Chain A
Amino acid sequence: MAELHSLWSSHAASRICRALEDVDVFWAEDPINKMNDARALADLRRQTRTPICGSETLGGLVSFRDMLAADALDIVMLDLAWCGGLTVGRKIAALAESYAKPLAPHDCTGPVTLMAGLHLALLAPTAIFQEVVRAVLSTWYRDLVTDIPILRNGMVQAPTSPGLGTALLPEVRQRKDASIRESGKAAHFPWSAQGATARTHVGVIS
């Protein structure tokens, strides 16, 4: 796969994607700036045989519906932390299925998002990949949570624990570089069974 990181305008992206045809990449990801431009992406797809993947940068169900309705994508990439969580991600997965497009959850947003993406990918009939980052799987992801995905011969195993199958390690809260944000009471999350409990988000900024 070739990652283009939303750095290019349409003409340059078209030149790149046509050049990539010669090496038969599996996809070109996020080819244009910005990836919410369904019309420009559909135009790009008409100019190249390179499959277009997008986009972890999109948020909300309607963004993905508009992309698929415009024939703007070959592969649907989503990031659960940015698109609207599992609630929206499940619907995007169903949309991708209904448009007969493969789904590939993003990684780079941390180990909790990765585990959630893995669950979604196992659920979604058209999911083909769960992205992982080898460097962080072997380093700081392990420092934050109790469990990370188990890899065996390039295949990630389905988690067997309840829920996400992972949790923040208690010591993360004690780290000097931890940023702790308390948010939410029942009034803010009336639909949540946990709404009556204040929520704590712990993040690490490094």
Chain B
Amino acid sequence: MEHHLSLTFEINSGLSASGGRRTIDATDEMRGPYDDQVAFSRDAGRLAESLLSEGFTAMKIWPLDIYAAATGGHMISLEELKAGLEPVPQSARRRR
């Protein structure tokens, strides 16, 4: 019997050049072809398509991290929830 295991997928380490947690804004550019933290922040659906094309059927993203620092993680507003989760349905629609 051939043994194999399905893969989930996480993007890069999520650390900034200074070693802190990396955040993405409109000015960030891709660092190499697989800078997927930028990719999911801009268009998670396109990232999902890219992963599917290589056979990855699961994807993990962290679109809400950017809202934690303001309150030390104690509070997230409805507007932040809606904005943060906006990438998720895009990718969910492309699930198999």
Decide: A154 near B57, CB < 8 A? Known: A129-B5, A135-B34.
yes
Nearest 4 CB-CB pairings of A with B: A154-B55, A158-B3, A135-B34, A7-B68
The docked-state distance in angstroms from the alpha carbon of A3 to that of B12 is 13
A3 and B60 form a contact (CB under 8 A): yes
Q: How far is the CB of A116 from chain B (nearest CB, A)?
A: 13
For the complex, count residues of A whose C-beta is within 8 A of B: 47
By beta carbon, the residue of chain B nearest A13 is B73
Interface residues of B (CB under 8 A from A): 2-14, 21, 32, 34-36, 51, 54-65, 68, 71-76, 81, 85, 88-89, 92
Looking at A22, A118, A133, A136, the one whose CB has the most chain B CB atoms below 10 A away is: A133
The docked-state distance in angstroms from the alpha carbon of A199 to that of B29 is 41
The docked-state distance in angstroms from the alpha carbon of A154 to that of B50 is 12
**Chain A, 113-136, CB within 8 A of any chain B CB:** 118, 121-122, 127-136
Q: Which residues of the partner chain A approach B89 to less than 8 Å between Cβ atoms?
A: 23
Decide: A16 near B76, CB < 8 A? Known: A1-B59, A152-B55.
yes
The docked-state distance in angstroms from the alpha carbon of A48 to that of B35 is 32
Q: Which of A12, A136, A139 contacts B73 (CB 8 A)?
A: A12
* 26 residue pairs bridging A and B, Cβ less than 8 Å apart: A1-B59, A3-B60, A3-B62, A3-B65, A5-B21, A7-B68, A8-B68, A9-B72, A12-B68, A16-B64, A122-B5, A129-B8, A129-B58, A130-B5, A130-B7, A131-B7, A132-B8, A133-B10, A134-B34, A134-B56, A135-B36, A139-B32, A152-B55, A157-B3, A158-B2, A158-B4
Looking at B21, B68, B75, the one whose CB has the most chain A CB atoms below 10 A away is: B68
